[in-house]
Structure 1
Protein backbone atom coordinates (compact mmCIF):
# COMPACT_ATOMS: atom_id res chain seq x y z
CA UNK A 1 0.00 0.00 0.00
CA UNK A 2 2.78 2.43 0.97
CA UNK A 3 4.79 1.50 -2.11
CA UNK A 4 1.77 2.04 -4.36
CA UNK A 5 1.10 5.42 -2.76
CA UNK A 6 4.75 6.35 -3.18
CA UNK A 7 4.69 5.39 -6.88
CA UNK A 8 1.50 7.37 -7.39
CA UNK A 9 3.09 10.41 -5.76
CA UNK A 10 6.15 10.17 -7.97
CA UNK A 11 3.95 9.78 -11.05
CA UNK A 12 1.82 12.78 -10.08
CA UNK A 13 4.92 14.87 -9.40
CA UNK A 14 6.39 13.90 -12.76
CA UNK A 15 3.14 14.81 -14.51
CA UNK A 16 3.02 18.17 -12.76
CA UNK A 17 6.63 18.88 -13.67
CA UNK A 18 5.94 17.98 -17.29
CA UNK A 19 2.88 20.23 -17.35
CA UNK A 20 4.87 23.08 -15.81
CA UNK A 21 7.64 22.63 -18.38
CA UNK A 22 5.09 22.70 -21.23
CA UNK A 23 3.65 25.92 -19.85
CA UNK A 24 7.10 27.45 -19.56
CA UNK A 25 7.91 26.41 -23.13
CA UNK A 26 4.64 27.92 -24.37
CA UNK A 27 5.47 31.22 -22.66
CA UNK A 28 8.91 31.19 -24.26
CA UNK A 29 7.47 30.51 -27.71
CA UNK A 30 4.96 33.32 -27.24
CA UNK A 31 7.76 35.69 -26.25
CA UNK A 32 10.01 34.92 -29.20
CA UNK A 33 7.06 35.09 -31.58
CA UNK A 34 6.35 38.56 -30.19
CA UNK A 35 9.99 39.51 -30.70
CA UNK A 36 9.63 38.38 -34.30
CA UNK A 37 7.41 41.38 -35.00
CA UNK A 38 10.37 43.65 -34.36
CA UNK A 39 12.47 42.03 -37.10
CA UNK A 40 12.41 43.44 -40.60
CA UNK A 41 12.07 41.01 -43.48
CA UNK A 42 12.76 41.93 -47.07
CA UNK A 43 13.06 40.24 -50.41
CA UNK A 44 16.71 40.99 -51.18
CA UNK A 45 17.70 37.35 -51.54
CA UNK A 46 14.58 36.52 -53.53
CA UNK A 47 15.47 39.10 -56.17
CA UNK A 48 18.77 37.31 -56.79
CA UNK A 49 17.01 34.06 -57.70
CA UNK A 50 13.81 35.48 -59.20
CA UNK A 51 14.69 34.10 -62.64
CA UNK A 52 14.86 30.51 -61.37
CA UNK A 53 11.90 28.17 -61.58
CA UNK A 54 10.97 26.41 -58.36
CA UNK A 55 9.69 22.86 -58.56
CA UNK A 56 6.38 22.04 -56.85
CA UNK A 57 7.15 20.97 -53.31
CA UNK A 58 6.00 17.59 -52.05
CA UNK A 59 6.68 16.97 -48.33
CA UNK A 60 8.74 13.84 -47.70
CA UNK A 61 10.77 12.20 -44.99
CA UNK A 62 14.55 11.98 -45.22
CA UNK A 63 16.24 9.67 -47.68
CA UNK A 64 19.49 7.79 -47.30
CA UNK A 65 22.69 9.66 -46.41
CA UNK A 66 24.88 9.76 -49.54
CA UNK A 67 28.25 8.06 -49.61
CA UNK A 68 31.43 10.10 -49.18
CA UNK A 69 32.05 10.69 -52.88
CA UNK A 70 28.48 11.74 -53.65
CA UNK A 71 28.32 13.95 -50.56
CA UNK A 72 31.56 15.68 -51.55
CA UNK A 73 30.30 16.35 -55.08
CA UNK A 74 27.00 17.59 -53.69
CA UNK A 75 28.77 19.99 -51.34
CA UNK A 76 30.93 21.35 -54.16
CA UNK A 77 27.81 21.85 -56.29
CA UNK A 78 26.04 23.71 -53.50
CA UNK A 79 29.07 25.87 -52.76
CA UNK A 80 29.31 26.83 -56.43
CA UNK A 81 25.67 27.83 -56.53
CA UNK A 82 26.01 30.01 -53.44
CA UNK A 83 28.98 31.83 -54.96
CA UNK A 84 27.09 32.33 -58.23
CA UNK A 85 24.18 34.02 -56.47
CA UNK A 86 26.21 35.97 -53.93
CA UNK A 87 24.94 33.99 -50.94
CA UNK A 88 26.78 32.92 -47.80
CA UNK A 89 26.02 30.31 -45.15
CA UNK A 90 25.88 30.89 -41.43
CA UNK A 91 27.04 27.49 -40.24
CA UNK A 92 24.69 25.65 -37.90
CA UNK A 93 25.86 23.15 -35.34
CA UNK A 94 25.64 19.62 -36.68
CA UNK A 95 23.92 18.03 -33.71
CA UNK A 96 20.84 16.72 -35.51
CA UNK A 97 18.97 19.98 -34.92
CA UNK A 98 20.46 21.87 -37.88
CA UNK A 99 17.16 22.38 -39.72
CA UNK A 100 15.48 23.79 -36.63
CA UNK A 101 18.57 25.87 -35.80
CA UNK A 102 18.57 27.35 -39.31
CA UNK A 103 14.86 28.13 -39.07
CA UNK A 104 15.36 29.72 -35.65
CA UNK A 105 18.19 31.85 -36.99
CA UNK A 106 16.05 33.06 -39.88
CA UNK A 107 13.02 33.69 -37.67
CA UNK A 108 14.64 35.15 -34.58
CA UNK A 109 18.30 35.72 -35.49
CA UNK A 110 19.19 33.19 -32.83
CA UNK A 111 19.76 29.48 -33.64
CA UNK A 112 19.62 28.66 -29.93
CA UNK A 113 15.82 28.97 -30.14
CA UNK A 114 15.78 25.72 -32.11
CA UNK A 115 14.00 23.70 -29.40
CA UNK A 116 11.13 26.21 -29.37
CA UNK A 117 10.86 26.08 -33.16
CA UNK A 118 10.77 22.29 -33.00
CA UNK A 119 8.04 22.42 -30.34
CA UNK A 120 5.95 24.80 -32.47
CA UNK A 121 6.36 22.53 -35.51
CA UNK A 122 5.33 19.45 -33.53
CA UNK A 123 2.21 21.27 -32.30
CA UNK A 124 1.40 22.11 -35.92
CA UNK A 125 1.84 18.49 -36.97
CA UNK A 126 -0.39 17.29 -34.13
CA UNK A 127 -3.14 19.86 -34.56
CA UNK A 128 -3.45 19.50 -38.33
CA UNK A 129 -2.66 15.82 -38.67
CA UNK A 130 -4.71 15.34 -41.85
CA UNK A 131 -2.51 17.80 -43.72
CA UNK A 132 0.66 15.79 -43.13
CA UNK A 133 0.08 12.15 -42.27
CA UNK A 134 -0.28 11.10 -45.90
CA UNK A 135 3.36 12.01 -46.49
CA UNK A 136 4.67 9.92 -43.59
CA UNK A 137 5.44 6.25 -44.45
CA UNK A 138 5.03 4.99 -40.87
CA UNK A 139 2.55 5.22 -38.03
CA UNK A 140 1.95 8.92 -37.52
CA UNK A 141 2.22 8.71 -33.72
CA UNK A 142 5.58 6.98 -34.11
CA UNK A 143 6.74 9.73 -36.45
CA UNK A 144 5.66 12.46 -34.01
CA UNK A 145 7.30 10.70 -31.07
CA UNK A 146 10.53 10.41 -33.01
CA UNK A 147 10.49 13.96 -34.39
CA UNK A 148 9.77 15.40 -30.95
CA UNK A 149 13.21 14.34 -29.72
CA UNK A 150 16.07 16.83 -29.75
CA UNK A 151 18.68 15.70 -32.25
CA UNK A 152 16.18 14.06 -34.62
CA UNK A 153 16.81 15.31 -38.14
CA UNK A 154 14.11 17.50 -39.64
CA UNK A 155 12.72 16.60 -43.08
CA UNK A 156 10.55 18.19 -45.76
CA UNK A 157 7.41 17.37 -43.79
CA UNK A 158 8.66 19.46 -40.87
CA UNK A 159 9.64 22.21 -43.33
CA UNK A 160 6.08 22.30 -44.66
CA UNK A 161 4.72 22.40 -41.12
CA UNK A 162 7.11 25.25 -40.28
CA UNK A 163 5.98 27.19 -43.36
CA UNK A 164 2.35 26.70 -42.29
CA UNK A 165 2.98 27.49 -38.62
CA UNK A 166 5.00 30.67 -39.17
CA UNK A 167 3.26 31.92 -42.32
CA UNK A 168 6.57 31.84 -44.18
CA UNK A 169 7.85 30.98 -47.62
CA UNK A 170 10.86 28.75 -47.00
CA UNK A 171 13.41 29.05 -49.79
CA UNK A 172 15.93 26.25 -50.17
CA UNK A 173 19.07 26.49 -52.25
CA UNK A 174 19.99 22.85 -52.66
CA UNK A 175 22.77 20.55 -53.76
CA UNK A 176 20.42 18.39 -55.82
CA UNK A 177 21.87 17.81 -59.27
CA UNK A 178 18.69 18.75 -61.13
CA UNK A 179 17.04 21.08 -58.60
CA UNK A 180 18.82 24.22 -57.52
CA UNK A 181 15.94 25.97 -55.83
CA UNK A 182 12.82 24.86 -53.92
CA UNK A 183 10.08 27.08 -52.48
CA UNK A 184 7.90 25.75 -49.66
CA UNK A 185 4.74 27.81 -49.31
CA UNK A 186 2.18 27.83 -46.49
CA UNK A 187 -0.87 25.86 -47.57
CA UNK A 188 -3.69 28.16 -46.49
CA UNK A 189 -2.31 31.70 -46.39
CA UNK A 190 -0.07 34.01 -48.35
CA UNK A 191 3.40 34.16 -46.78
CA UNK A 192 4.35 37.32 -44.93
CA UNK A 193 8.05 36.51 -44.60
CA UNK A 194 10.80 34.57 -46.35
CA UNK A 195 13.22 32.17 -44.68
CA UNK A 196 16.37 31.23 -46.58
CA UNK A 197 18.17 27.95 -45.98
CA UNK A 198 20.86 26.00 -47.78
CA UNK A 199 20.35 22.25 -48.04
CA UNK A 200 23.33 19.97 -48.47
CA UNK A 201 21.00 17.19 -49.42
CA UNK A 202 20.35 14.57 -46.73
CA UNK A 203 23.34 15.88 -44.74
CA UNK A 204 22.97 19.41 -43.37
CA UNK A 205 21.03 22.71 -43.32
CA UNK A 206 22.49 26.18 -42.85
CA UNK A 207 21.01 29.66 -42.65
CA UNK A 208 21.53 31.86 -45.74
CA UNK A 209 22.40 35.54 -46.08
CA UNK A 210 23.66 37.85 -48.78
CA UNK A 211 27.44 37.57 -48.77
CA UNK A 212 27.93 41.04 -47.32
CA UNK A 213 25.30 40.58 -44.61
CA UNK A 214 26.60 37.43 -42.94
CA UNK A 215 26.42 37.75 -39.13
CA UNK A 216 29.62 37.26 -37.18
CA UNK A 217 28.43 34.55 -34.81
CA UNK A 218 31.02 31.85 -34.15
CA UNK A 219 29.97 28.39 -35.34
CA UNK A 220 30.40 25.40 -33.08
CA UNK A 221 32.10 22.15 -33.99
CA UNK A 222 30.53 20.54 -37.08
CA UNK A 223 29.59 17.13 -35.72
CA UNK A 224 28.10 16.08 -39.06
CA UNK A 225 31.66 15.83 -40.42
CA UNK A 226 32.03 12.72 -38.27
CA UNK A 227 29.54 11.03 -40.60
CA UNK A 228 32.35 10.74 -43.08
Structure 2
Protein backbone atom coordinates (compact mmCIF):
# COMPACT_ATOMS: atom_id res chain seq x y z
CA UNK A 1 0.00 0.00 0.00
CA UNK A 2 1.18 3.55 -0.70
CA UNK A 3 1.31 6.18 1.99
CA UNK A 4 0.11 9.61 0.95
CA UNK A 5 -1.64 12.77 2.08
CA UNK A 6 -5.40 13.01 1.51
CA UNK A 7 -5.98 16.42 -0.06
CA UNK A 8 -9.74 16.22 -0.46
CA UNK A 9 -11.82 14.39 2.15
CA UNK A 10 -14.95 14.34 0.01
CA UNK A 11 -13.16 12.89 -3.00
CA UNK A 12 -11.45 10.28 -0.82
CA UNK A 13 -14.75 9.21 0.71
CA UNK A 14 -16.44 8.93 -2.68
CA UNK A 15 -13.58 6.89 -4.07
CA UNK A 16 -13.64 4.62 -1.03
CA UNK A 17 -17.40 3.99 -1.36
CA UNK A 18 -17.01 3.23 -5.07
CA UNK A 19 -14.12 0.90 -4.34
CA UNK A 20 -16.16 -0.98 -1.72
CA UNK A 21 -19.11 -1.27 -4.12
CA UNK A 22 -16.85 -2.69 -6.84
CA UNK A 23 -15.38 -5.18 -4.38
CA UNK A 24 -18.87 -6.23 -3.22
CA UNK A 25 -20.02 -6.66 -6.82
CA UNK A 26 -16.98 -8.77 -7.66
CA UNK A 27 -17.56 -10.87 -4.57
CA UNK A 28 -21.22 -11.49 -5.44
CA UNK A 29 -20.36 -12.48 -9.01
CA UNK A 30 -17.59 -14.75 -7.79
CA UNK A 31 -19.90 -16.50 -5.33
CA UNK A 32 -22.55 -17.10 -7.99
CA UNK A 33 -20.03 -18.47 -10.47
CA UNK A 34 -18.35 -20.58 -7.82
CA UNK A 35 -21.65 -22.16 -6.79
CA UNK A 36 -22.47 -22.85 -10.42
CA UNK A 37 -19.23 -24.72 -11.02
CA UNK A 38 -18.48 -26.10 -7.53
CA UNK A 39 -19.07 -29.73 -8.38
CA UNK A 40 -16.54 -32.50 -8.67
CA UNK A 41 -15.90 -32.80 -12.40
CA UNK A 42 -13.66 -35.78 -13.02
CA UNK A 43 -13.56 -35.62 -16.82
CA UNK A 44 -9.89 -34.75 -17.08
CA UNK A 45 -9.10 -37.03 -14.17
CA UNK A 46 -10.67 -40.02 -15.90
CA UNK A 47 -8.55 -39.31 -18.96
CA UNK A 48 -5.42 -39.36 -16.81
CA UNK A 49 -6.50 -42.18 -14.50
CA UNK A 50 -3.54 -44.35 -15.52
CA UNK A 51 -1.06 -41.81 -14.15
CA UNK A 52 0.27 -42.17 -10.63
CA UNK A 53 0.40 -38.72 -9.00
CA UNK A 54 3.53 -37.58 -7.21
CA UNK A 55 2.96 -36.40 -3.61
CA UNK A 56 3.10 -32.63 -3.36
CA UNK A 57 5.71 -30.88 -1.25
CA UNK A 58 5.04 -27.14 -0.84
CA UNK A 59 8.03 -24.97 -1.69
CA UNK A 60 8.76 -21.46 -2.90
CA UNK A 61 10.37 -20.58 -6.22
CA UNK A 62 14.16 -20.61 -5.91
CA UNK A 63 15.54 -21.99 -9.16
CA UNK A 64 14.44 -21.19 -12.69
CA UNK A 65 15.40 -23.10 -15.86
CA UNK A 66 17.75 -21.73 -18.50
CA UNK A 67 16.28 -20.62 -21.81
CA UNK A 68 17.32 -23.86 -23.52
CA UNK A 69 15.94 -26.07 -20.73
CA UNK A 70 12.76 -24.02 -20.69
CA UNK A 71 12.18 -24.61 -24.42
CA UNK A 72 12.75 -28.34 -24.01
CA UNK A 73 10.35 -28.39 -21.07
CA UNK A 74 7.64 -26.68 -23.10
CA UNK A 75 7.97 -29.18 -25.95
CA UNK A 76 7.64 -31.98 -23.42
CA UNK A 77 4.48 -30.38 -22.00
CA UNK A 78 2.96 -29.98 -25.48
CA UNK A 79 3.59 -33.65 -26.20
CA UNK A 80 1.82 -34.65 -23.00
CA UNK A 81 -1.15 -32.41 -23.78
CA UNK A 82 -1.45 -34.06 -27.20
CA UNK A 83 -1.12 -37.58 -25.81
CA UNK A 84 -3.95 -37.04 -23.31
CA UNK A 85 -6.16 -34.95 -25.60
CA UNK A 86 -6.16 -31.88 -23.39
CA UNK A 87 -6.50 -28.21 -24.27
CA UNK A 88 -4.80 -25.30 -22.55
CA UNK A 89 -6.82 -22.17 -21.99
CA UNK A 90 -3.93 -19.73 -21.98
CA UNK A 91 -3.83 -16.95 -19.42
CA UNK A 92 -1.66 -13.84 -19.34
CA UNK A 93 1.96 -14.24 -18.29
CA UNK A 94 1.93 -11.11 -16.15
CA UNK A 95 3.07 -12.64 -12.88
CA UNK A 96 -0.51 -13.55 -11.97
CA UNK A 97 -0.75 -16.69 -14.11
CA UNK A 98 -1.19 -19.18 -11.26
CA UNK A 99 -4.06 -17.14 -9.83
CA UNK A 100 -5.54 -16.51 -13.29
CA UNK A 101 -5.48 -20.24 -14.08
CA UNK A 102 -7.09 -21.08 -10.74
CA UNK A 103 -9.72 -18.38 -11.34
CA UNK A 104 -10.50 -19.85 -14.75
CA UNK A 105 -11.01 -23.28 -13.22
CA UNK A 106 -13.17 -22.04 -10.33
CA UNK A 107 -15.16 -19.26 -12.02
CA UNK A 108 -14.70 -20.06 -15.73
CA UNK A 109 -12.91 -16.76 -16.15
CA UNK A 110 -9.32 -15.71 -15.37
CA UNK A 111 -10.50 -12.21 -14.48
CA UNK A 112 -11.18 -13.05 -10.82
CA UNK A 113 -7.49 -13.63 -10.14
CA UNK A 114 -7.36 -10.74 -7.66
CA UNK A 115 -10.11 -12.35 -5.61
CA UNK A 116 -8.35 -15.72 -5.73
CA UNK A 117 -5.05 -14.17 -4.66
CA UNK A 118 -6.77 -12.33 -1.80
CA UNK A 119 -8.39 -15.53 -0.55
CA UNK A 120 -5.13 -17.49 -0.79
CA UNK A 121 -3.19 -14.81 1.11
CA UNK A 122 -5.89 -14.76 3.79
CA UNK A 123 -5.55 -18.53 4.09
CA UNK A 124 -1.79 -18.14 4.54
CA UNK A 125 -2.14 -15.35 7.07
CA UNK A 126 -4.84 -17.04 9.16
CA UNK A 127 -3.16 -20.46 9.18
CA UNK A 128 0.54 -19.64 9.29
CA UNK A 129 1.32 -22.79 11.28
CA UNK A 130 0.41 -24.93 8.27
CA UNK A 131 2.77 -23.20 5.85
CA UNK A 132 5.59 -21.26 7.51
CA UNK A 133 7.90 -24.29 7.78
CA UNK A 134 8.09 -24.34 3.96
CA UNK A 135 9.11 -20.69 3.65
CA UNK A 136 12.81 -19.79 4.21
CA UNK A 137 12.07 -16.20 5.25
CA UNK A 138 9.98 -14.34 7.79
CA UNK A 139 6.47 -15.61 7.12
CA UNK A 140 4.84 -12.19 7.50
CA UNK A 141 7.20 -10.86 4.86
CA UNK A 142 6.31 -13.81 2.62
CA UNK A 143 2.53 -13.42 2.69
CA UNK A 144 2.76 -9.62 2.34
CA UNK A 145 4.98 -10.16 -0.69
CA UNK A 146 2.52 -12.70 -2.10
CA UNK A 147 -0.36 -10.22 -1.67
CA UNK A 148 1.18 -7.93 -4.29
CA UNK A 149 -0.31 -8.04 -7.77
CA UNK A 150 2.15 -9.60 -10.20
CA UNK A 151 3.99 -11.67 -7.58
CA UNK A 152 4.47 -15.22 -8.88
CA UNK A 153 2.55 -17.94 -7.11
CA UNK A 154 4.49 -21.00 -5.95
CA UNK A 155 3.82 -24.49 -4.55
CA UNK A 156 3.01 -23.05 -1.12
CA UNK A 157 0.24 -20.88 -2.58
CA UNK A 158 -1.05 -23.91 -4.48
CA UNK A 159 -1.38 -25.82 -1.20
CA UNK A 160 -3.09 -22.82 0.40
CA UNK A 161 -5.50 -22.63 -2.56
CA UNK A 162 -6.32 -26.33 -2.25
CA UNK A 163 -7.05 -25.83 1.45
CA UNK A 164 -9.04 -22.61 0.97
CA UNK A 165 -11.24 -23.78 -1.89
CA UNK A 166 -11.54 -27.42 -0.75
CA UNK A 167 -10.10 -28.42 -4.11
CA UNK A 168 -7.90 -31.17 -5.41
CA UNK A 169 -5.46 -29.31 -7.66
CA UNK A 170 -3.93 -31.45 -10.36
CA UNK A 171 -0.89 -30.33 -12.34
CA UNK A 172 0.13 -31.79 -15.68
CA UNK A 173 3.76 -30.74 -15.67
CA UNK A 174 6.71 -30.38 -18.00
CA UNK A 175 9.07 -31.96 -15.47
CA UNK A 176 11.15 -34.71 -17.05
CA UNK A 177 10.54 -37.23 -14.24
CA UNK A 178 7.23 -35.95 -12.90
CA UNK A 179 4.27 -35.82 -15.25
CA UNK A 180 1.46 -35.45 -12.76
CA UNK A 181 1.34 -33.74 -9.34
CA UNK A 182 -1.72 -33.85 -7.10
CA UNK A 183 -2.35 -31.31 -4.33
CA UNK A 184 -5.13 -32.18 -1.90
CA UNK A 185 -6.69 -30.24 0.98
CA UNK A 186 -5.11 -31.15 4.28
CA UNK A 187 -8.13 -31.23 6.57
CA UNK A 188 -11.18 -31.85 4.39
CA UNK A 189 -12.34 -33.90 1.45
CA UNK A 190 -12.18 -32.05 -1.89
CA UNK A 191 -15.46 -30.88 -3.39
CA UNK A 192 -13.97 -30.02 -6.79
CA UNK A 193 -11.03 -30.71 -9.06
CA UNK A 194 -8.94 -27.93 -10.60
CA UNK A 195 -6.70 -28.85 -13.54
CA UNK A 196 -3.69 -26.77 -14.48
CA UNK A 197 -0.79 -27.22 -16.86
CA UNK A 198 2.54 -26.25 -15.39
CA UNK A 199 5.39 -25.22 -17.65
CA UNK A 200 7.90 -25.79 -14.90
CA UNK A 201 8.74 -22.64 -12.94
CA UNK A 202 7.68 -20.51 -15.93
CA UNK A 203 3.91 -20.46 -16.45
CA UNK A 204 0.52 -21.96 -15.50
CA UNK A 205 -2.50 -22.41 -17.76
CA UNK A 206 -6.00 -23.82 -17.25
CA UNK A 207 -6.73 -27.33 -18.60
CA UNK A 208 -9.85 -28.85 -20.17
CA UNK A 209 -10.81 -31.83 -22.22
CA UNK A 210 -11.31 -30.71 -25.81
CA UNK A 211 -15.10 -31.14 -25.69
CA UNK A 212 -15.32 -29.18 -22.43
CA UNK A 213 -13.36 -26.11 -23.54
CA UNK A 214 -15.46 -22.97 -22.90
CA UNK A 215 -16.96 -21.83 -26.20
CA UNK A 216 -15.25 -18.43 -26.08
CA UNK A 217 -11.85 -20.18 -25.88
CA UNK A 218 -12.24 -22.69 -28.71
CA UNK A 219 -9.97 -22.02 -31.68
CA UNK A 220 -11.88 -20.60 -34.62
CA UNK A 221 -11.87 -22.32 -37.96
CA UNK A 222 -10.15 -20.41 -40.70
CA UNK A 223 -12.19 -19.57 -43.75
CA UNK A 224 -10.11 -19.34 -46.91
CA UNK A 225 -11.07 -17.39 -50.00
CA UNK A 226 -10.20 -18.89 -53.38
Q: Which residue of 1 aligns with 2:183?
A: 184
- Partners of 2:19 and 2:34 in 1: CA distance: 22
Q: Report deviation, 1:30.
A: 5.0
Query: What does 1:120-199 correspond to in 2, within 5 Å?
Result: 120-199=119-198
8 Å contact kept, 1:53–1:181: yes
Out of 22, 35, 56, the position equivalent to 1:37 is 35
- Partners of 2:86 and 2:203 in 1: CA distance: 17
Task: Identify if the C-alpha distance between structure 1 residues 44 and 149 changes in structure 2 by more than 3 Å, giving closer, same or farther.
Answer: same
Cα-to-partner distance string for 1:116-150 (whole Å, 9 max, x where unaligned): 00001011111111111111111111111111111
- Partners of 2:195 and 2:17 in 1: CA distance: 34
- Partners of 2:33 and 2:92 in 1: CA distance: 23
Task: Identify if the C-alpha distance between structure 1 residues 136 and 118 changes in structure 2 by more than 3 Å, giving closer, same or farther.
Answer: same
Q: Which residue of 1 aligns with 2:208?
A: 209
2:36 partner SS: coil
Q: Which residue of 1 aligns with 2:221?
A: none
Q: TM-score, normalised by structure 2?
A: 0.85
8 Å contact kept, 1:63–1:202: no
Cα-to-partner distance string for 1:129-185 (whole Å, 9 max, x where unaligned): 111111111111111111111110000111001100100000000001100000000
Q: How many residues align?
A: 212
2:73 partner SS: helix
2:95 partner SS: coil
Cα RMSD for the two superposed structures: 2.5
Q: Report deviation, 1:48.
A: 1.1
Confirm or deny that 1:25 pairs with 2:23: yes
